[in-house]
Structure formats: structure tokens, C-alpha cells
Structure 1
Amino acid sequence: MPGSPVTLGVRVHFEIFTQNRDEALLSTKPSVIQALIQGLTTRNGTTEAIEVLEACKGAQITFSRKTYTWLVSAAIQSGDPKAALGVFKDCQQAGYEPQLKVQCQLISALAKADRPYGQHLAQTAYDLWEKLFFSGHILDAAAYRAGMQACTASGRLGQARGLLDAMSAAGYPPDARAYNIILKGCSMGGTAGMDLVPAILASMQAAGVERSSVTYNTLVDAYVRAGRLGEAKQDGDLAGAHALLNQMKRLGVPCNVVTYTTLLDGYVKAGDLSGARLLWLDMRQSGVPPNAATFNTLLTGLAASPDPESLKDVFDLYGQMEVYKVRPTVDTYNTLLRACMRHGETKQAMTIFKRLRTSRRGPDVITYTTLINGFSDAGRPAAAVRAFEEMQADPNVKPDVACINSMVDALQRLGDMAAAESYLPEAARLAQEQGQPPPIEAYGAVIEGYAKQQDADAALAVLKAFFLLGGEADSRMYDIVVDVCVRTHKFQRALQVVKTMEQQGRTIDKERIKQRLEQMFSRQGRVRRQGRAAHRQHLAANENLERLKFWLGLENSYYG
């Protein structure tokens, strides 16, 4: 329990270790360090335990398989599958074969990981499953279910269905949990996945497996996902999901908070707040108590409304959390912040922020990113920068890609291009850690900033760096670069960019380029009186300008 003498002793031991790390690694017995790691993991100190493990790796200190196993499980339970994967690899490098149970736990955790790491870790989950499947281990039912999760998460729904047969052949008849995993995979597979749902349900019925409340919740989620992804008609999907809700009621299957919250999410994502309000009323009349996720879902929908009156609705709903004795989460406060910022209520937003700072959890990176974006959109980039600096002073929060992108945008709005560009390497590094290319948001913001300052060379240099890191520009980024090149009379560079756009099949805004040329020649016309002949001779000699005009479909004498 936090604050207990045992916990305090472990924490003190950890502080002594970190303050005198080199000496501790030389003088402390591995068994003592091992006890420290296990003590930390049992007292919500998984991050610190991994820090100790990393220090020991540098000193070539290894531990027992039990310690590695303990730490893998602790990292999974703390919701950090990426850290669990790192310890799992350390276990293998130490010469130990992780237990089957631990391998299955890790595969499941990686398969269920949320973004931004989800897509990358899902493939890792499948790779681990494939190795396990061909390793010669005798697989149990839990292993097959872990394999199904890895297959569905990585987009291999066909293989996941095949594991149902393999599981049965191995003497483990698939249960509702196994079928629910397959149905979850269908929900993630768009229209093609949804088309398989009837066959899966028929197979489930033929096997004598009864649908559980989780099955119905999964089906509701499947309809909601299909509607949210735009891969089927939203109205039809929401109607189908609501029909499932009514079917559950008729069959006496409990409609719990997960069922209602999932369907509420569908209405909110579809932009149907009226439907969401009716379902919210149905939920309360049915006696199903809402939880924080329920409130957060509804708050998200209300906060996105452009109606000025919606802010009052947001805070009215927030007030009901106290009535239902539901503790607000960080997501709750972040949604309130977004609503306030959206309607220009920055003072009210700061009141919410101060309340969050004094709460048990405190702000997270999304909190600060919301403030940064809100102040920038309100025309107060200096305040946005101060919010970022305050986040840097918070030891519990580290910036992510989205936060860095927002900071770069705030700095370019301030005109501090040197500072804005200095954050690009960090943005690229964070994106790379997620298996993503350099963020177009950060690089695009810097290019836009240089374009405002009519610094074509700097904008082109950033574009080149973006390409070298594997970035792929969109039409807007190209348009900005072409525009600044035309405005600064760098016609050859403009031609190079538009040819690249053509090769990539990008849409080119020729009318905008024509307008820029018209503006340029209009300005030039005002100085012709001072040297008309020399001016016309200069333009005629500008071969790149004439080529650009030709590419635009303009006669060479168009501006003559």
C-alpha cells in the first residue's frame, strides 16, 4: 500500500541505487538487485524496475528467469506492452526460454495495444505467434486464443478462422471467448469482415456455443466500427446495432455499461447527437449506471458541436458525474479543455487545467497539446509556447509526436523559425519509434513559416530533409513550396517541384500559380515607367519563367 514502511523502504533503496548507480552495480550482490526489481514490480514501480534492469544490462548483470518473467507480467499489467517486449527480449538474450504462459500473455498484450504503437506491435505479436506455433510447444486453449488475437490484429482474419479448426483438432473445442476474438477481427475488417459475421455466428450456433454478453457487445462494436469507418451505411449499421440491443433485452442477456457505451460511441462518431441523447435516456431508464467512459463518450460528442450553447450542455453533463458518483478522468478534463478552447473560453479552460493539476492523476501530454492547439488557434502562440514550457517542467509528462507538431506550429506562427526547425529532429525520432515516417504536420508547418517569410531556399531545404527521412509530401506542402518559389522568382525550382508533383500524380493548383504570376506582373508593371525596355528584356531572357508559363498553358506574350 502506498506510503507503507515496506513501500517506503523499496523506494529509498531505489533512490540510493540511482544516485550511486556505478558504485551500486559494483558493490551490490545481484540477488539484492534482483530483490529490488521484484519489490518495485509488486508496488506499482514497473518503470523504475525496468530502469534498474537497463542499468544492469550495461554492467553485464543477468538475473533468473523468474525475475524476467515477473517483470514481463508486471509491464503487461501496467499497460506497457512495448516495455514488456523489451524485457522479453532481454530474457531470451540471457539464455532463457520464456514460459508458454508468459509468451501467450505478451502476444495478447501486443495484439491489443492501442495506437500509436498498435499497428507496429500487432505485426510483432504475429511474428511471436508464428515462432511459437512452429516451436514444437504443446499449445493449450489460451495459446490458440492468443494466436487468434495476433492474427486478427495484424489483418489475417482467414488464419484466425483456421485456428478455430486447429484448436478443435487439438482437443480444445472453441468457446465463446474464441468466437468473440474472431468476431472482433470481423469488426476491424471493414465491409469484408462484416460479411463474415453471419457465417461465424452460424458456426458458433452449430458448435452449441451460446452467445455471451461479450458476444453481443462485440457485435455492437462491429456495427459501430463499420459505421465509423465509413465502409457501410452509417444509418443501417447503427440501426443494426440498436436491434442487437433490443434482442439482448428480449433474450434476457444483460445489457451492461459496455453495451450502451459502445453504441453511444457509434452515435457520437456518426454525428447523431439526438440518437445519443435518446440512448442515454434509455440507459438511465434501464437502470444501467454509467461509468467514466460513458460520460467521456457523450462529452466528446457535445464538445465537438459548433453550437455556442453546447458548452453549457458539456458542463451540465459534467455535473451529472457527481450525481452518479463517477470520478472524472484525465480524458474527462481534456474533453472539457477542448470544449472551452473551441468556444474561445480560455479563462475557463485554465480553471479546468488548474483543477486537473490538483487532481490525483494530473495532466498528461494530451492535456498540454490541447492547450497548445487552443492558444494557437485563438491567435495566442506565445501562450501556446508557455504551455509547452510548463509541460517540460512537469516530470510526469513527456512530449509525443502530436505535441511536438503543435509546438512547431506555434513557433512558426510566432515567426521564430530557428526554434521551430530545431524541433524537427525530435519529431522525426519520435515518429520513427512508432514505425512512422517523419510527421508531415511538423515539417509542413516549418515550410509554411518560411513561405510566410518568403525564404524559398529554407523551405526547399526543409522539404529535401523531409524526403531524405522517408517523408511523403502532400499536395498542400507542394503548393506552398511552388507558391513561395514563384513569389521569389525562383522559377526553375518551381518547375522542378511541379514536375515532381506530376510524376507522383498529385493534383496541382494551376489557377493559384497563375494568380501569383498575375500579381507579380502587376507589381512589375508599376515600375515599367522607370525602365520598360530593360524590364521587358529581362523577362524575355528568363527562360524558366517562359517554361513555367508554357506549362500553365499561357502564351509567352500573355504578360507582354
Structure 2
Amino acid sequence: MPMLGCPPNLISYTTLIKGYCSAGKTSSATELLEKMIGESDHHKPNVITFNTVIDGLCKEGSLSKAFDLFEQMHSLGVLPDTITYNTVINGLCKQGPIEKALLLLDCMASKGLEPNIVTYTTLVDGLCKKGLLENPEKLLQYILYKRYKPNVITYTIVMDALCKKEEIEKVEELLEDMISRGVQPNVVTYSTLIDGLCKMNKLENAMKWLYEMILKGMSPNVVTYNIFMDALCKKGETGKAEKLLGDMISRGVQPDVVTYTILIDRFCKTKELEITKKCMREMVSKGISPSIVTWNVIMDAFCTTDDVMNILVNIVLNHGARDYSAYISLIKAYAQRRNVDGAICVLKRMKQEGLQPDLDAYSPIQEMLLRIGRADDARDLIAHINEKKADH
């Protein structure tokens, strides 16, 4: 731009900084901001520029750098606004000492800035997650007293905290209160309540709220169904859980790896190998790869059964789940059980399928060999990996 006689201005710099942050290139955004600060006579950054970089740094977990920039704003005469404070408070609530976030709330007031519903919701979330809020509903009453209208996120956060305290009656009252105030609950709100009821073994009451959300035209998602299925399986009502699986599919909600792992876990606990295999076939035929949790569940249940893992590997191979993560999960499962032959077998099958193992595949085997005192074999494996690298 300067070569063409059109030097970049504040908008040009801020636009590029926003682009870097959106692409996850926060270091490039920070460098550009530092360049602006160094040339502040020509391109002094404004509050929007700082807010963009601070937000990017907080999202990537670089809280100390974000806080340094926050402090630097004052020295440059750029006054932080409510968005700046909200961003830093959110970062502190998620990663840093929440006491510092509360101090910033006081600082806002001293600077003549009014906290908004985003500020309070962020603090409610942070305090609840850290277990520092004795009475979550009282803070909600304070927000209402300050004449802010809590949104669905605020209510859901408070409800989740009350569910963890097993104060279900208060949660149900809160749900009715939010509806009366014109705040419509969403699928996360209902799922939060349902999860709390299921954990307290109040499945009938939870089912009532499931029907309530359906009547309101709200479709339960896979998380909602998984909550119910987990509760039913833990009660030993596997038939109802399977029926629920059929219901969710009929409603267009696709099961995920968690759904099938819940069922597989139950079948494993009852030592039903054939049904476990059937469930695995159905799972992989839908293109859903077993997770490390799935394999660990199976290994714990059937580790003494002859060739059980080979049978399950064949299920994976014959039903299209030939992705890299499935093999890595198998290797890790074998490694956790200290089954060297099984892990090596999977490694060979990877190569037969045209997949090139990397450190993710070799490392669990190497660690297992060291744990069982086969240091020489571990060294040979490292040498083999290094040879493969040299070949490439």
C-alpha cells in the first residue's frame, strides 16, 4: 500500500489484526499491534484494536499477555471499555484467579463503567464452576435487582450449579420463573435439568421435562438422549435404553460414539459378548469410530476371553471404520492392558491397510515395553522409528 502511495491507516491495521485473530494467528496479530504502538504517532491503536488482540490472547490461553496489554492501554491513553473488561474478566474466570476478576468488577465501577448482563453472566459462570457461590440464585436475584434481564445462558448456568447441589426444586422453580419473565429455555437448559434429575435417580420426573420440551416444539439433541440412556443403563433397564435409541434415530437425531459406548458398557457389564459385537457392528457401519473409552470398556470386560479383541478388530475392518484414530485407540487399549502381541498385531494391520504409523502409534507400545521391563525391545523400537524417518 505505501509503495502505491496509499499508506495503511487505523482501519487497515485493525482489519488485518482481526483477520489474524480469527485465523488463530494471535502472535502475528500481537506483532502488528506492537508495530502500531511503535509508530503510534501515525497509527495509534484504539480500544477496538486492543480488544481484538486481548480477546484472541484470552481464547488461546495467553492470559498474562492479555493482562499486560490491558495494563499497557492505560499508559498509551487508550481507555478500556466494558467489552475490554468483560473479555479480561472472562479470561480470569476460566483460567486465572477469580478473585482478580472480582477486583476488576470493582475497578469498572471506579472508572464509571457499568457492568452489563455479559459481565454478570461471566462471573456467575466462573464462581459456579469453581464452587465459590454458596447461593447461586441469590446472585441471580441481585442481577434482577440491578434491573438487568438475565438471558437463557445466565439462567442455565445457575440451574446447573443448583443441580450439582441437588437442589432440584429450586431448579424447577427457576425454570418456571424464567419462562414467566419471557426468557425461553433452550435445549441446553432442559438437558441441564434432565441431567440433574437423572443423577438423582428421578427418571420419571426427568421424562416429564423431556415431553415438556418436545411439546414446546423443541427437539432433544444427542446429549439429551445420552443422559437418559446412561441413566437407564445404570439402572439395568437396557431394553428401554435400546428403545430410546430407536426413538432418537426416528426423530432424526444421530447417535454418536458416546451413545454406543453407553450401551456397550452395559452389555460388557452383563458379559453379553454377542450383543456387544452386534452393537459394535452397528456403530462402525454408521461410520462412527470407537474411542479409547469404548475399547477400554471392552478390554476390562473381556480381557480373559480368547481372541476377543481380534474378533472386534475384524468387526472394525469389515464394516468400514478403517480410520487412523480407530487403530490408535486399539493400540492404546492393548498397551494399557500390557498386551504387547495385540498392540504389535494392530500395528501390522495398519501397515497392511496402507496407513503409515507415526509416533502416536509407536509411543504407547514403547511406554508399555519400558513399564514391563523390556528396555532392549523399547530401544529397538526407537531405532526402527529413526530408520523410518531417515528413509523419508
- What TM-score do you get using the length of structure 2 for normalisation? 0.70
| Residue among 246, 264, 267 paired with 1:375 | 267
Give the direction of change, closer, same or farther, for the CA distance of 1:199–1:348 in structure 2 (3 Å limit): same
* Structure 1 residues 137-536: aligned runs within 5 Å: 141-167=47-73, 173-189=79-95, 193-227=97-131, 232=132, 237-239=133-135, 241-305=136-200, 307=201, 310-395=202-287, 397-406=288-297, 408-409=299-300, 412=303, 414-415=305-306, 416-419=308-311, 426=325, 429=328, 443-444=335-336, 446-447=337-338, 469=363
Alignment match, 1:102 = 19
Could you tell me whether the CA contact under 8 Å between 2:17 and 2:53 is conserved in 1?
no
> How far, CA to CA, are the matches of 2:265 and 2:27 in structure 1?
38
Give the direction of change, closer, same or farther, for the CA distance of 1:348–1:149 in structure 2 (3 Å limit): same
Could you tell me whether the CA contact under 8 Å between 2:268 and 2:298 is conserved in 1?
no
Q: Which amino acid is 1:311 matched to?
A: L
> How far, CA to CA, are the matches of 1:426 and 1:409 in structure 2?
20
Structure 1's unaligned 5+ residue stretches are: 1-97, 108-124, 432-437, 451-456, 482-492, 497-560
Give the direction of change, closer, same or farther, for the CA distance of 1:426–1:156 in structure 2 (3 Å limit): closer
Q: Which amino acid is 1:207 matched to?
A: K
Larger RCO, structures 1/2 (Cα 8 Å, 6+ apart): 2
> How far, CA to CA, are the matches of 1:133 and 1:408 in structure 2?
53
Give the direction of change, closer, same or farther, for the CA distance of 1:342–1:244 in structure 2 (3 Å limit): same
> How far, CA to CA, are the matches of 1:402 and 1:268 in structure 2?
26
* Alpha-carbon shift at residue 210 of structure 1 (Å): 1.4
> How far, CA to CA, are the matches of 1:392 and 1:159 in structure 2?
44
Name the larger-Rg structure: 1
Identity of aligned residues (%): 23
* Alpha-carbon shift at residue 369 of structure 1 (Å): 2.3
> How far, CA to CA, are the matches of 1:375 and 1:164 in structure 2?
54
Aligned-pair Cα RMSD in Å: 3.9
- How many residues were matched structurally? 332
Matched residue of 1:196: which SS? Answer: helix
Alignment match, 2:384 = none
> How far, CA to CA, are the matches of 1:250 and 1:210 in structure 2?
14
> How far, CA to CA, are the matches of 1:426 and 1:354 in structure 2?
27
Alignment match, 1:552 = none
**C-alpha offsets along residues 19-57 of structure 1, whole Å, 9 cap, x if unaligned?**
xxxxxxxxxxxxxxxxxxxxxxxxxxxxxxxxxxxxxxx
Give the direction of change, closer, same or farther, for the CA distance of 1:171–1:328 in structure 2 (3 Å limit): farther
* Alpha-carbon shift at residue 322 of structure 1 (Å): 2.5
> How far, CA to CA, are the matches of 1:338 and 1:467 in structure 2?
31
Q: Which amino acid is 1:222 matched to?
A: G
> How far, CA to CA, are the matches of 1:175 and 1:366 in structure 2?
42
Give the direction of change, closer, same or farther, for the CA distance of 1:461–1:389 in structure 2 (3 Å limit): closer
Q: Which amino acid is 1:469 matched to?
A: S
Could you tell me whether the CA contact under 8 Å between 1:385 and 1:410 is conserved in 2?
no
Matched residue of 2:23: which SS? Answer: helix
Could you tell me whether the CA contact under 8 Å between 1:372 and 1:384 is conserved in 2?
yes
**C-alpha offsets along residues 399-426 of structure 1, whole Å, 9 cap, x if unaligned?**
4444454455565375414456899x84
**C-alpha offsets along residues 254-308 of structure 1, whole Å, 9 cap, x if unaligned?**
0221111011112233444454344334434544321111011111122223x3x
Could you tell me whether the CA contact under 8 Å between 1:220 and 1:259 is conserved in 2?
yes
* Alpha-carbon shift at residue 349 of structure 1 (Å): 1.2
Alignment match, 1:60 = none
